[in-house]
Amino acid sequence: MAETIIKVDLSKSAYENDMIHNRWHPDIPMVSMVKPGDDFKIECVDWTGGQISNNDSADDVRDVDLSKVHFLSGPVGVEGAEPGDLLVVDILDIGTFEESQWGFNGFFSKQNGGGFLTEHFPEAQKSIWDFNGMFTKSRHVPRVEFAGLIHPGLIGCLPSREMLNEWNTREKALVDTDPHRVPELATLPYAETAHMGRMTGEAAKAAAAEGARTVPPREHGGNCDIKDLSRGAKVYFPVYVKDAGLSVGDLHFSQGDGEITFCGAIEMAGWIHLRVNLIKGGIEKYGIKNPIFKPSPITPKYDDYLIFEGISVDEGGKQHYLDVHIAYRQACLNAIEYLTKFGYTRAQAYTILGVAPVQGHISGVVDIPNACATLWLPTDIFDFDLQPNANGPKIEVDGSSADVPLSPDL
């Protein structure tokens, strides 16, 4: 039986656990050492460190301290790993805690994080999702149930000193182009809420002041939010420091492509079972700049979809040139509008697109001036017929009787 090398206590603050950290820095000490070929289990708190509760108020989502996230378990050192190698990580299994059979999804206030559709959903909202084995449903989003594909939203290796400096330089330059933007263009180092694992004293203070925030994906992996990194997936991570320094967290019970609500998956605490190996000199051998992966062979079997198209013309009718971000936003907005015809509120529809196993595709990037993006909505997650027909849509859901809780900005 695989050993659990990192354990968490959900009743305690993540700051009390020195096997957890919430910044990226090359000097964070390894909390455990493993060998190539070893398999082991790691426990993880939810990405906010327990800031969100199982209730019917979105106050905690509105007031969440995003400077604290993400809380990651690790780093785990791999004997013999050196800069230039590839760390091969097999996700053997992943699951929920018996005592924590629920997760949450939320829209952050535009004043505190925002999200993909923050101009349309500017205030905080939250839905709670209950787990029943491999399935989930929510009291806030009626007549929807689907199989989850549990995966880590965030997994990666420690950066080198040179890479950390590059991240901070380029992200600061971006913020400087519009320093007062809401939401901000990037999350820069912030020492006050940093948790540097087993670092102590002046070294911890110095590292906290320059440690990279965990919000975006970067060259080392990080917060990639790839829903198909589930049991059976294999990931090849570039190694940038001695022993690699593998960390993981931000577990999701389910997520749609793009994690469009930002707090966009069904967020959860849980555990993950990994195996590691090394490809010596693999970065140069394979020309690797960012991680590559093989997806899980296990996916929810949904093979009937409604596909919504979007093009790079924004909500105001302005033409953009091959802009896939705008095209995917339009595909999502088109799907939301469609779901409201069956009785869902716009917030419920947005939630569904964030948490259900929808697929997002870049369908065309050559036909100037419009890029084409598509959102694939599985119809079998609904307990009624969602297909268009000659009689028109029928109201199937009384969305107003169980809407997604909203907490206005203070």
Q: What average pLDDT score do residues 239-248 get?
A: 98
Confidence of residue 353 (pLDDT cuts 50, 70, 90): very high
Q: What average pLDDT score do residues 52-73 get?
A: 98
Q: What is the DSSP letter of 115?
A: -
- Look at residue 263 and tell me whether its pLDDT is greater than 80: yes
What is the model's pLDDT at position 80? 98
Name the percent of the chain lying above pLDDT 70: 100
Annotate 325-351 with b (16+ C-beta within 10 A) or e (fewer): ebbbbbbbbebbebbeebbbbbbbbbb
Q: Which two tokens stand for residue 368?
A: 């100037």
* CA–CA gap between residue 253 and residue 153 (Å, rounded): 10
What is the model's pLDDT at position 298? 87
What is the model's pLDDT at position 264? 81
Q: What average pLDDT score do residues 237-256 get?
A: 98
Q: What average pLDDT score do residues 192-213 get?
A: 98
CB of 70 closer than 8 Å to CB of 22: yes
Confidence of residue 1 (pLDDT cuts 50, 70, 90): confident
What is the model's pLDDT at position 400? 77
Q: What average pLDDT score do residues 92-107 get?
A: 98
* CA–CA gap between residue 331 and residue 310 (Å, rounded): 4
45 alpha-carbon distance from chain centroid: 14
Confidence of residue 148 (pLDDT cuts 50, 70, 90): very high
What is the model's pLDDT at position 171? 98
Q: Kindly report, residue by residue over 264-273, the tens digit of the pLDDT.
A: 899 999 999 9
CB of 308 closer than 8 Å to CB of 358: no
Q: What average pLDDT score do residues 159-164 get?
A: 98
- Look at residue 397 and tell me whether its pLDDT is greater than 80: yes
Q: What average pLDDT score do residues 56-85 get?
A: 98
What is the model's pLDDT at position 383? 96
Q: Kindly report, residue by residue over 294-348, the tens digit of the pLDDT.
A: 999 988 889 999 999 999 999 999 999 999 999 999 999 999 999 999 999 999 9
